Chain A
Amino acid sequence: MKWIYILILLVVAASASGCVDKNQAETTGQTPAQTSVSPGEPGEAAVTPGAVVTPVIATPAAVSPAPDDLFGTESNLSAIDTTFNDMNMEISLLDSI
Chain B
Amino acid sequence: MKPTNIFRILTPLILALFILSLFSGVVAAQTTAREQYEKTKEQYQVQKEKFDNTRKQFEDAKKLFEDANKKFKNVRDNKSDNRSKEELIEKAREYILRAINHTEAQLQVMKNRLDNPENKGILASDAIKIIDAHTAQLEQLKGNVSQATTIEEIRAAHKELAGIVAKINLETRYFMGMVLNHRIENFINRADNVSAKVDDAIAKLKANGTDTTELESDAANFKDKLNEAKDIQAQTVALFATHSGFAADGTVTNEKDARDFLKKANELQRDTIKKLKEAGKQLIEFGKEFRKLARGKVKVNEKDELEINGEATTTFTAKKGE
Contact = CB atoms under 8 A, between A and B. Distances in A.
A17 interface: yes
B284 A66 contact: yes
Nearest to B269: A84
Contacts of B187: 47, 76-77, 80
Contacts of B253: none
Contact of B48 (A41, A55, A71): A41
A60 B162 CA distance: 39
Interface in B175-204: 176-177, 179-180, 183-184, 186-187, 189-190, 193-194
Shortest Cβ-Cβ A-B pairs, 4 listed = A87-B176, A52-B33, A41-B44, A68-B287
Find the residue from A13, A36, A93 having the highest chain B CB count within 10 A: A93
Given A6-B12, A84-B270, A69 B284 contact: yes
Given A2-B9, A83-B183, A91-B165, A26 B117 contact: no
A24 interface: no
Given A6-B9, A22-B27, A86-B109, A70 B177 contact: no
A93 B65 CA distance: 12
A74 B109 contact: no
A76 B8 CA distance: 54
A87 B180 contact: yes
Interface stretch (B78-86, B243-251, B275-283): B275-283
Given A49-B193, A70-B306, A81-B273, A87 B30 contact: no
B102 interface: yes
B183 A93 contact: no
Interface residues of B, number: 87
A52 to B, nearest CB: 4
Contact of A13 (B20, B66, B109): B20
Interface residues of A, number: 60
Nearest to B188: A47
A46 B258 CA distance: 28
B69 interface: yes
B180 A47 contact: no
Contacts of A86: 109, 113, 176
B300 A31 contact: yes
Contacts of B33: 39, 52-54
Interface of B: 5, 8-9, 12-13, 16-17, 20-21, 23-24, 27, 29-31, 33-34, 36-37, 40-41, 44-45, 48, 51, 58, 62, 65-66, 69, 92, 95, 99, 102-103, 106, 109-110, 112-113, 116-118, 154-155, 158-159, 161-162, 165, 168-169, 172-173, 176-177, 179-180, 183-184, 186-187, 189-190, 193-194, 266, 269-270, 273, 276-277, 280, 283-285, 287-288, 290-291, 298-302, 304, 306
Given A41-B112, A88-B266, 5 more contacts: A19-B24, A39-B118, A47-B190, A71-B287, A93-B158
Interface of A is mostly: loop
A76 B273 CA distance: 11
Contacts of A52: 29-30, 33-34, 37
A57 interface: yes
B186 A97 contact: no
Nearest to B59: A92
A97 B23 contact: no
Contacts of B112: 41
A42 B16 contact: no
Nearest to B116: A39
B163 to A, nearest CB: 10
Interface in A10-45: 10, 13-14, 17-19, 22-23, 26, 31-33, 35-36, 38-42
